Every structure is written in C-alpha cells, then in structure tokens.
Amino acid sequence: MDGGVARPSVDGDEFGVIVAAEIIIAAVLL
C-alpha cells in the first residue's frame, strides 16, 4: 500500500507500517 511518501524507501512494507503507526499515534494525540 502506498503511503504517499516522497522519498524512496527500500523497505516499503516496514516503512509503511511505521508511517501508519505514526499517523495513528498522531491522530490519537491530536
């Protein structure tokens, strides 16, 4: 799944999971 990341990522799956986690955390904090 694409997270709309501008920078190229070697580990797409792991990076996607990290981004998803950060988005969820940010949503909870906000």
**Helical segments of 1-30, H only:** 12-29
pLDDT of amino acid 27:
92
Q: How many residues does the chain have?
A: 30
Q: Please say whether the beta carbons of 15 and 1 come within 8 A.
A: no
pLDDT at residue number 21: 87
Structure tokens at 20: 């998803």
pLDDT of residue 17: 81
pLDDT computed for residue 10 by the predictor: 58
Which DSSP letter does residue 18 get? Answer: H
The CA–CA distances, whole Å, from 23 to 6, 11, 30 equal: 16, 18, 10
pLDDT in tens, the chain (30 residues): 455 555 655 556 667 788 888 999 999 987
Q: Which pTM value belongs to this model?
A: 0.46
